[in-house]
Each structure stands twice: as structure tokens, then as C-alpha cells.
Structure 1
Amino acid sequence: MSLPGGIRTTLAIALLLIVGGALAGAYVMVVPSLERRLVDERLEELQHDANSTALSYARQDFRNPLEIDDFVDAWAIVGNARVVVFQVFGPAPLSLRPLADSASAPGTISEDEIALAAARTSRPARGRVDRGGRPFGEVAIPLLSGNVLLVSTSLEDQLATVRVVKRRLLYATGVALAIAAILGSAAATLHARRIRRLERAANRIAKGQFDEPVVDLGDDELGELAAAFERMRVQLAQLDTARKEFVANASHELRTPLFSLAGFLELMADEDLDEETRAGFLATTREQVERLTKLAADLLDLSRMDAGRFRVEREEVVLGDTARALVDELTPLAEATGHRLVLEADPEAWALADEERVLQIGRALAGNALAHTPSGTEIAIATAYVDGRAELSVTDDGPGIPREHAERIFDRFYRVEGPHASGSGLGLAIARELAERMGGTVELATVQGRTTFTLSLPAAPVAAGELAVST
């Protein structure tokens, strides 16, 4: 269950927490440090004054207590601090009695813990004490006479400075939080709107509506997400178009031979047909059945590929033998259509592939050349070993493939319309997918009016080894 307001509230609260936490951290780091620094600086001043006072006291020859009183009064004016000389009684427990005090009302100064610490350790001591609810900084120095000199001053000025800094930090914190709340709410609202747009775009795509682009001009993560959504929309639109074209083309390709078969069967039912006409109808019917059989096989291969259930073998294939078998198979068709088949086999062209699928690809490439080139065209089927790859190529000197069709001829059901156009438009698409599943490629090149389809496959290790030995 989301918070009221959704991401806007979440982002605004997060920004407030961040700003508040940063300011609280600054407060914790600045205020105590400032207070310690100011107190330490004042204690350093007191230490200097106390050392000077103790040195001057040691040089005096006091003959009566009044001289000591005059001494502490004078040094209290010089140091702007309270000066007290304690007489120490002991040894344990130690106690102090003021011998001379610059203040008119000494109060409980006899219980001063800083002076007691100096008396116990016979070493200078300093620190902060609270007396009468007020803070004081004190420095106590043991004297050679056994007494203890104490210099004390109020820390109100230093702590007042710290209180001013505290108030200003609190004011700044309140202003910063207010600004953060306003800016955070505005930024969160802007981001929430962008996310809502992406959500609506995702819902449109989920419903199959691919006509409206996903646009976000932000140069941040949301902008990158919108760009990814747009790429997904384009790809899904292309897949949806391809699916619709596939269904329409498949229906058309199936309907045409079925209607033709139905017509011929109806005509053949006429008893008045002579045997020659009936034989022609049977031949045409057989051709349509073969066309349907090939189309069904192609559609089955495509469905297996799309479902990931299509497997290819990996074995050593002599492409020269495959090319020779291909020429033998297609020679009757070439002679019937007036084409010349030429074989150029390289014995070193051994591939690591599925022999049956290589033959299927070669049949598609050569059959495409026979179907789309005019009578009298020469078609060369060649094999070669090139740069660690085994290649099977089909080259013709026909009219060639127009540039605008070259990039799409491997699409499913795509056919170049013209006087020699035929087939279902699946052969080259299946050929490329078969090649890719065997780790190879099928490429088209047109050089000086000659069109070449090249199947490139990984070379078999035995072929590469024999070639290395021979060289």
C-alpha cells in the first residue's frame, strides 16, 4: 500500500530528511566544537595570566596579609579576572582556606575543585566549573610557599556567542526546511508527472496501441527509461506489423494453391476431358501440392525457430561435395528454364555445420537465382576457404536486386515484385536464420552487375589443420 500522494510525498519527505539530517549534522559538528574552542582560548589566556601572577607572587616578600590582599587586587585588575590565594591544610584529606581574594564576596570559593586538584598533584590544573548556576573558567597553580593561586573568570561572553550561533543555525534550519519542502514538492510533482506519462505509455503499449511515441526530453534516468520504452514500442510495433503481415501472407499463400487445386479437381471431374488435358491438369495439381508441401515445411521450420525447438547438428561438412550434390539436383530445373549451372569447388572448404541444413540453404539461394533471373543467365555455385571461414556462394549475372530491396529480401514473406517474382518469400529468411544458428552468415553483394549470395560458416578444425600443414 502506497503513501497518500504517492511518489510526490515520498520524494518530498526524503528531501526534507536529507536537508534536516545535513543541518543537524552541521549543528552537532559546529556548536560543540565552537564552544570548546572559545572556552579553550579563554583558558589559555587565564593560564598565561596565572603564570605571570604566580611568578610575581614568588618574587614578593609579604610581611602581612594586607599586602597579599593588595597584590591579588592589583593582578585581578590586570587580568580582568578573580584572583584567589588559598592556604592548603592536609595532608589528607586536603582542605583549602582563602588567604586572599580579589572578590568582595568569596562565597563558596573555598571548595573549588580546580584548586584542590592543583594542591593534590602539585601541578597546574585548569578547567570549567559551574558556581551559583554560572559557568567559570579557572586555572590553579601551586606556589613554592605551599599555597595555591587560583585565577577565575566568567565564561558568559563566550557562551553567549555560542548561543547566538545556535539561534542562527536553528533559524537557518527552519528556513532551509521550508525551502526544501517547497522545492522538493515542486521537483517531486514534476517527476511524478513524468512517471505518470510513462505509466500511461506502458498501458497503451500493453493494449497494443503503438501509434503514439513515448517522449521525455529529460537527460536523466527517467529520460533513459522513456528512451528504452520508445525502443520497445518501435520493436513491438514492428513485431505486430510483421505478425499481421505474416498471417495475411500465410493465408494468401495457402489460399492461392488451395483455390487452384479446387478448380482443377472440379475440372477433372468433367468426363469430357481428353487424356492430354487431364494429364496437364494432373501435372499442374502436382505442382500446387508440392508448393503447399514446401510452404508447410517452411512454416513449420519458422515456428520451431520461434519456439526455440529447432536444432542443428555440428559436424564436418565438405562444402565441395554439397555444392556438387546441389548442382546435380538443380540441373534438370536449370535446363528446363534455360539457365547454365557452373560448379567451382575448392577441396579445402570444410565447414563445421549441419550438412542437411547447408544443402537447404544452398537450395534456397540457387533456387532464388533460377526463379528471378531470365533464361540464358549463368549461375555459378562455388566453395572457398577464406580467412578461417568456409564459404558457399551462388553468383548470377542477371538483372540484379534494386538497392531499395536489398536490405529487406531476408525478411519473411518479402518478395521483389517483377516479371520473374515467385515463391512465398520465406526461403531467404529461413536461409539466414539457419546460417545464424550454425554460427554463420548469409550476405548479399552486387559487383559489376553480378549478384552474389554468400553463406559463410566456421571452418572445420581438420580443414584448418590441413591448410596450415600445406602452407
Structure 2
Amino acid sequence: MSIPGGIRVKLSLALLGIVGGALLAAYVIVIPSLEQRLVAAKLDQLQSDAETLAVQYATSEAQNNLRITDFVDYANFFSNSRVAVFTVGGAPGKRELVTVGDSSAGTGVDLAFDSTALEAADSARTVRARVRHNGREYAEVAVQLFSAGNVMLLSSSLSDQLATVALVKRRLLYATVVALSISVLLGFMVAAIHARRLGRLQAAADRIAEGAFDEPVVDDSDDEVGQLAASFDRMRIQLAQLDEARREFVANASHELRTPLFSLAGFLELLDDEDLDESTRREFLATTRSQVDRLTKLATDLLDLSRVDVGRIRIEKDEVGLAEVARVVAEDFFALADASRHTLLLQVDDDAWAHADEERVQQIARALVGNALVHTPAGTTVQLRVERHDSRVALVVEDDGPGIPPEHLDRIFQRFYRVEGGQASGSGLGLAIARELAGLMGGTVTVASRPGQTAFALELPAESPSLRVAEALWR
């Protein structure tokens, strides 16, 4: 069940509960403890006075100069309390008290049956108690005098102590009312401030949900709400970048698909001409096949990218001999290298084994070699080599072409990005896919370029030789 009024009411009620609970705990702990301490202090004082007076009584009685009325008046003055002296009769457990002296006789409180004095008479020890007479509370201490059977009772009203406790209760109550009022007011004010800040965040979230990424989310505070606003702003920037990338991706993909489709439509229309000679028809058919191949490759690349993005591409890691991969890829590209007047060289290390997916390694290697052959001028030498570096192995494609301009190096792995110039061609997806696939296998694809030397390197985790030997023996 939700509390109406939003965060203002909820925070105010929370502060009210916290302050109220704290004051209630203080009341439960302080008031009873204060009352007990004040009563105990009063009883301690009466006990000390009673024991002192008992000694004085015994001394005076030994000197035979004791008058009980004078002693009671003196004890009343000494202890500032009501003093009564009793003689005790009857059997134990059925004691009877007979008053022989009372400093406050006739006050309406009869002490002849006082339980404290009776208990002291039965136990022959000092007894202290908090008792009630006629609706008022008293502190009492009874001691047995040294003369046989006599008991002295000191009784003092607890009205001052209880009045002090009542005063503390009233002041604590006033403080509670004031503290609760202040807590409600402050809670409402603080909640209102935070509600406004959260409202701004809600409005910003609504704008972002509607696709408006131009307005920043600003909150200059360093608290949790400020940190949340900063996270919202980072999310806004990332979503803006993703939205821009999506728009650019759609535009580039549409352009890449439209170009071969228009070309195919044109060639198909020309092929429909009955006057077309056979050689021209074969040329148009070859061009049409190349455009179909281009569409097929583009569709395959887009499918791979979509699978990478949704995490559905399968990577099956096993031991992969990079030397064999390099030989297979080089064999596939020797014809293309001859046709484009490139020199393709191969240099491998047969001990370079990687822990990766062989099919994906070949895909990356083909993309790197294909880029080197397509994006460099005729007469360029392209070298495919395999190296081992401790726990990593590398497949490197290096050429001695003109190199990649420095301003393009950080962007060539972006989707659909192509370096402008006469040698630029393709969809611009090959390197992006290569880097994504390498990352899924725990590897990297890097590039280093300067005029006369450009090297793309696929680095992968090396397969342990001892593990390969053990697997070979097991087989």
C-alpha cells in the first residue's frame, strides 16, 4: 500500500518515526532510571542516618541518661524525617508494635502496623523499602536498636524526588513535541528539495526515452542524487552515440545495398537487348556475377555483425596451428595477388599454436590479406607471417605500400569506415568484424603504419605445448 503525498510525506514520516523512536527510547531509559536513582539515594541517606542514630541510642542508653521523647526529637532533627521507636512483642512472624515515641504523631499516618518495622523486628537486620501510605509514597528504613526488642523507623516523603521526576517528564514531553514538529518541518523541506531534483531527473529520463539527447542532465551536488544525474548524463551521451551510429549504419547499409542493386538492374536491362553481341553479353554477365558476389559478401558481413551484437555468434575454441591457417589463406590469395600484380610472401613458425576458433581465425586472416591486396597499388609486396611471443601468438599481414594516413588509424576499425582515395573500396565492415571476432576469442587486432610499411597483427592466446603433447599421447 503506497503512502499518498510522495516522497515529501514519506520522508517526513520517516524522520518523525526516527525522532519519535529516539525520544521514546530516551524516555524509557532515562525516566525509570532517574526515579530509581533518586529513591535509592534517599534510602541510602535514611539508612546512613538510621545506623548512626542506632549507635547514638545505644551509647545514651548505656549512660542511663536517655529519654525516648528527647531522642526521637533529636533523631527527627538529625535526619529531617519522621522518626518512630517501637517496642516489639508477640511471637516471631506475629510481631506486635507498640509506639513509644513518634516525632510526627497525629499526622494521620499510623505506623503501628508498618511492614518495614515489622520485617526489621522479625529479621533483626536493617530493612529499607519504598511504601505507600494514604496515597503518598515514602522511603522507609527500619533498624533494630541495641536494647532488646526495640525498633526505630525513619520515614521520609518521596514527594520532592517524584516531583523532580515529573518535572523531567514534562520537559521531555515538551522537547518531544518541539523535536517532532521540527523533524516534520525539516523532513518536508528536505524532501521537497530532493523531490524537485528527482523530478528534474524524471523529466530528463522522459526526454531521453523520447529520443531527445541534446539537453544535458545537470545536478551540481556531490551526493547520491548528483551521482545519479551524472550517470544519467553518461547514459544520454552513450545513447546519443548509439543513435548516431544506428542512423549512420542504416544510411551506410542502404547505400552499400543500393549501389550493387542499381548496377544489377542496369546490367539486367542491357542484357535484355537482343542486339547485344556475345562478348559484351559475357562481360555484362561477369560484372553481374561480381555485383552478386558483392551483395552476398555484404549480406554475410551484416549477418555476422548482427550476431556479434546480440551475442549469438558461436566461438568454438580449440588448438589452432597458425602456420597451417597462413598456408591455406595464402593459397587462396596467390591467384588474386598475381592478377593484381602483387607479390605475396609467406613466412611461418610451425610451433605457433593458438587457443581459438580455426574458422574465425581464417576469416580474420582472409580479411587482412584481402585488404592488403585491395588497398595497395600494383607492385606492392604483401607478407603473411606467423610469430610466437611467450604466451601469445600472432598472425601478421605486412605490406610496403604507401601506408595509412595517421588521422585515419584510429577509425579504420569502425563500421563502414573507409579511407578516401583511389585505392578505397569494399563495404568497410571487414576490419570491424575482424576486431569483434578477435575479442570474442580473447585476442586483439592492431595496426601500425608509416609510409612504406603497414602491419596488421592478429594476436591470440598461445596453446600450451605440454597440453598438446598430453592430448596427443591420450589419443
TM-score > 0.5 by shorter chain: yes
Deviation by residue 1:380-431 (Cα, 9 ceiling, x = unmatched): 2111121212211112233333343333322222222222211111111111
Matched, 1:226 2:234: no
Corresponding residue for residue 327 of structure 1: 330
d(CA) in 2 for partners of 1:305 and 1:216? 36
Equivalent AA in structure 2 for residue 126 of structure 1: R
Alignment counterpart, residue 378 of structure 2, candidates 375, 387, 393: 375
Alignment of 1:73-222 (within 5 A): 73-91=73-91, 92-105=93-106, 107-144=109-146, 145-222=148-225
Q: TM-score, normalised by structure 2?
A: 0.92
Aligned residues: 467
After TM superposition, list the pairs within 5 Å mapping 1:35-434 onto structure 2.
35-61=35-61, 67-91=67-91, 92-105=93-106, 107-144=109-146, 145-434=148-437
1:450 maps to 2:453: yes
Runs of 5+ unmatched residues, structure 1: none
Mean Cα displacement is larger for which, 9-18 or 384-393?
384-393
Q: 2:400, 2:452 within 8 Å by CA — same for their partners in 1?
A: yes
Cα deviation for residue 291 of structure 1 reads 0.6
Q: Deviations over 1:262-285 (max 9, x none)?
A: 112222333443444333322222
Match of 2:173, SS state, is: helix
CA 114–408 in structure 1, closer or farther in 2 if over 3 Å, else same: farther
C-alpha displacement of 1:466: 6.5
Deviation at 1:347, TM superposition (A): 0.9
CA distance change for structure 1 residues 97 and 376 in 2, over 3 Å: closer, same or farther?
farther
Secondary structure (helix, strand or coil) at the match of 1:183 reads helix
Q: CA deviation at 1:49?
A: 0.7
Please tell me whether the aligned partners of residues 347 and 386 of structure 2 are also in contact (alpha carbons under 8 angstroms): yes
Which stretch shows the higher mean deviation, 360-369 or 86-95? 86-95
Superposed CA deviations along residues 73-132 of structure 1, whole A, max 9, x for unmatched, are: 012112211111122222132232222111142531122222122122211111212222
Name the stretch that deviates more: 126-135 or 301-310.
Answer: 301-310
Cα pair 1:380 1:396 within 8 Å, conserved = yes
TM-score under structure 1 normalisation? 0.93
Structure 2 unaligned blocks of 5 or more: 471-475
Range that drifts further, 347-356 or 49-58: 347-356
Counterpart residue type for residue 60 of structure 2: Q
> For 1:61, what is the secondary structure of its paired residue?
helix
Structure 2: distance between partners of 1:137 and 1:414 = 97
Aligned match of 1:20: 20
Indicate if the aligned counterparts of 2:404 and 2:451 stay in contact, CA closer than 8 A. Answer: no
Query: Residue deviations 1:107-159, cap 9 Å, x none?
Result: 31122222122122211111212222222211111123221111111222222
Structure 2 residue identity aligned to 1:141: V
Shift of 1:4: 2.1
Q: In the alignment, residue 277 of structure 1 is paired with which amino acid?
A: T
Aligned identity (percent) is 60
Q: Deviation digits for residues 296-328 of structure 1, max 9, x if unmatched?
A: 111122223333332122222111111112122
- The one-character-per-residue Cα deviations of 1:155-176 (angstroms, maximum 9, x if unpaired) are 2222222222222211111111
Note if contact 1:348-1:463 (Cα within 8 Å) is conserved in structure 2: no
The farther-off stretch of 230-239 and 314-323 is 230-239
**Letter of the aligned partner of 1:368 in structure 2?**
N
